[in-house]
Amino acid sequence: SRVRNRAIDGVAQIGSDAEELMGALIGALEDADAVVRQSAARSLGEFKEGASDASTGLVRLLADESSDVRIAAAEAIGKIGLASEQDAAATTIKALTALLADKDTPAVLAALRTLAELGTDARSSISRLVELLEHREPTVRAAVSESLPKIEDNVEQLVPLLIQSLRDDEWTVRKSAAGALGEIGAPAKGAVPVLFELLASEQDRDAARDALRSIDAVSPEAIPTLIKALETGDSRTKYYAVFYLG
């Protein structure tokens, strides 16, 4: 298997001249050796859109017995993209969504990254992503916060979910949520009150401040929050309220 593995890696390094060998790589996705399957998936990913014929085999590997193979398959799909045929694309999204329930956190994270790369085409996975906001691993919850804005473009649905993550017990999750809200900008003004609460936390202060700047906290809807901060906040919160009002 070591020889086959090295041969597969060599094919990927050849580049566009190796397209005629695509069939061999696709066949290697069914090899008995997990290392070979993993290498074949990685190599196909390097061909990007040129490896679209490998989609069926890669989707099958999302349920492979090896976690390393499942991860490699997910990452390859992210590089190759979805098939143009609607049913095949839907099958891919469904398989990636199923991978979100994987017992191995790295596989879940790989699925999240790929779904985010696929963007709004992966919107059917949103309900499962929402469930993952309660995942036991903070790294997963943080990754969900980062992925949601790339998959869901309905701000009215998205912002409340990210506000929920702003109240997470883990700092990394709150930071990811604040960053995502900052990317959304002004439409995320509903998060201003919670972001102002986070200004009182040394851990959260920088992320909250950056998000508030991007959202533009001086919008009319935020004025009551800013006034309340001036009246009841600590010295640092009052400083920021004056800053944004000024």
pLDDT digits (tens, 9 = 90+) for 148-194: 999 998 999 999 999 999 999 999 999 999 999 999 998 998 898 89
Structure confidence at residue 240 (pLDDT): 73
Structure confidence at residue 59 (pLDDT): 97
CB-neighbour burial class of residue 103 (10 A; exposed 0-12, middle 13-18, buried 19+): exposed
Distances (CA, A) of 47 to 6, 12, 37: 17, 8, 16
Structure confidence at residue 241 (pLDDT): 78
User: DSSP letters along the chain, please?
Assistant: -HHHHHHHHHHHHHGGGGGGGHHHHHHHTT-SSHHHHHHHHHHHHHTGGGGGGGHHHHHHHTT-S-HHHHHHHHHHHHHH---SSHHHHHHHHHHHHHHTT-SSHHHHHHHHHHHHHHGGGGGGGHHHHHHHTT-S-HHHHHHHHHHHHHH---HHHHHHHHHHHHT-SSHHHHHHHHHHHHHH-GGGGGGHHHHHHHTT-TTTHHHHHHHHHHHTTTSGGGHHHHHHHHHHS-HHHHHHHHHHH-
Tens digit of each residue's pLDDT, the chain (246 residues)? 554 555 455 555 555 455 667 888 999 999 999 999 999 999 999 888 888 889 999 999 999 999 999 999 999 999 999 988 899 999 999 999 999 999 999 999 999 999 999 999 999 999 999 999 999 999 999 999 999 999 998 999 999 999 999 999 999 999 999 999 999 998 998 898 899 889 888 899 999 989 988 987 666 767 787 788 788 777 777 777 787 776
Find tokens 């993209």 and name the residue. Answer: 81
Structure confidence at residue 3 (pLDDT): 42
pTM of the model: 0.84
Structure confidence at residue 20 (pLDDT): 67
